[in-house]
Amino acid sequence: MSVSATDGERVTASKGVRGHILFAFAVALALALAWRLREVLELVYVSALFAVVLMPVVLRIQKVTIRGWKPGRVIAILALVASVFLVLALFLVVALPPVIHDLQRFGHDLPERLPEIGAKLKNLPMADQLGVDSLAGRAEGMAASTGQYLLQSAPSLLGGVVDLGTAFILCLYFMLEGEVAYGYFLSFFEEPTRKRLGKTLVVAEERMSKWLLGQGSLMLLLGTASTIVFAALHVRYFVLLGVLMGLFNIIPVLGGVITIVLAACVAALDSWEKMAGVLIFYAIYTQLENGYLTPRIMRSSVNLPGLAVLIALLAGSALAGVVGALVAVPTAALVAVLANEYLVVEARDER
């Protein structure tokens, strides 16, 4: 009997070892597959995140009552999409013509202004050591080859447009059928765990949905302030530059750097004083935004401290570039809620 019991234990242990080995291979295979499909998974995650962010708007539309009639989910989503396209159409009709006019002027004036910029750069101290002559020549060459560069980069731009359209369609599907996928995901957990996780994800959804409002407020503030200041400084193409400042602010850190460098270069076409005024404005606004606006707006919207927002932006940009920086803050809000529920609360309960 003892021999048979020992043999049974050996068989059970052998099955356990084989199970662990198979599980390890399955995990390795899943990780390898996820790495191969990382671009697709990134697109799916961004689409799902924006669906979560926009769902409260859809739910509010569904609560609207018109003579006893309430719109369904499909009608509410169509109304949201129609509202977005209406806003874009108003922007194209009202705000885009002066932007296009400024852009055409900029493209027309740039080849004529480059030699003037080169002459101004030569007057700088240590201009010879900095290689200003070669820099001006390269700038003229870049201006001349802009069309060729755009032609060569057309495939990648087209791929970006296709990805954007795919993300838009996926976002619509997530808003339509996301609750089914959400319920299927929760079904893998037992009832007590499922109930707790469901409540936690609801809290996370509320925080993530407020991020869009906070980010839109920051974009509007920077775009409006930039347009007013650039107009007061009589900077060329101030409407175009102000719109770009507001739109690119959705890309944390990098978007502001790109637009302020462009604005400073445009201001330098007229005088160094205008360039200095642009840089001083952006330095002051950056301090105001980072020290006052962003911490308070993001803290009130996603309930995250300013340091956590900054770390999330750095980590997101390092992991996935511009897209990672774009979704870093709502992702940080999700992680913060889960960590608070399953680390902080559990540790407090154990005490």
User: What digits encode the pLDDT tens for the residues 237-252?
Assistant: 787 788 888 888 776 6
The pLDDT of residue 73 is above 60? yes
Tokens, residue 197: 């996780």
Name residue 237's amino acid.
Answer: Y
| CB contact at 8 A, 285 and 222 | yes
Angle between helices 2-36 and 38-62 in degrees, nearest 10: 80
What is the rounded average pLDDT of the residues 253-281? 81
Residue 267 backbone phi and psi in degrees, to 5: -65, -30
Residue 243: the pLDDT is 81
Helix (H, G, I), strand (E, B) or coil at 181: helix
The pLDDT of residue 43 is above 50? yes
Tokens, residue 110: 């740039």
Place of tokens 């809290």: 203
| CA dihedral (23, 29, 31, 33) positive or negative | negative
Residue 283: the pLDDT is 86
The pLDDT of residue 31 is above 80? yes
pLDDT in tens, 120-175: 555 555 445 444 455 455 545 544 454 454 455 556 656 667 777 888 888 888 88
Question: Per-residue confidence at 1, pLDDT binned at 50, 70, 90?
Answer: very low
Q: Which residues have C-beta within 8 Å of that of residue 47, sequence separation ≥ 6?
A: 167, 168, 170, 171, 174
Residue 241: the pLDDT is 81
Residue 117: the pLDDT is 59
Report the range of poorest mean pLDDT among 86-90, 335-339, 344-348: 344-348
pLDDT in tens, 268-304: 777 778 888 888 988 888 888 777 777 677 666 667 7
Name residue 91's amino acid.
Answer: F
The 3-class secondary structure across 3-18, one letter per residue, is HHHHHHHHHHHHHHHH
Residue 12: the pLDDT is 64
Tokens, residue 154: 């057309």
Average pLDDT, the chain: 75
pLDDT in tens, 141-152: 544 454 454 455
pLDDT in tens, 185-218: 888 888 888 888 888 888 888 777 777 777 788 8
| CB contact at 8 A, 326 and 250 | yes
Residue 309 sits at the vertex; the CA angle it makes with 186 and 276, to the nearest 5 degrees, is 150
Domain ranges for the chain, please list them: 40-114+129-188, 190-351
| Rounded distance between C-alpha atoms, residue 351 and residue 330, angstroms | 31
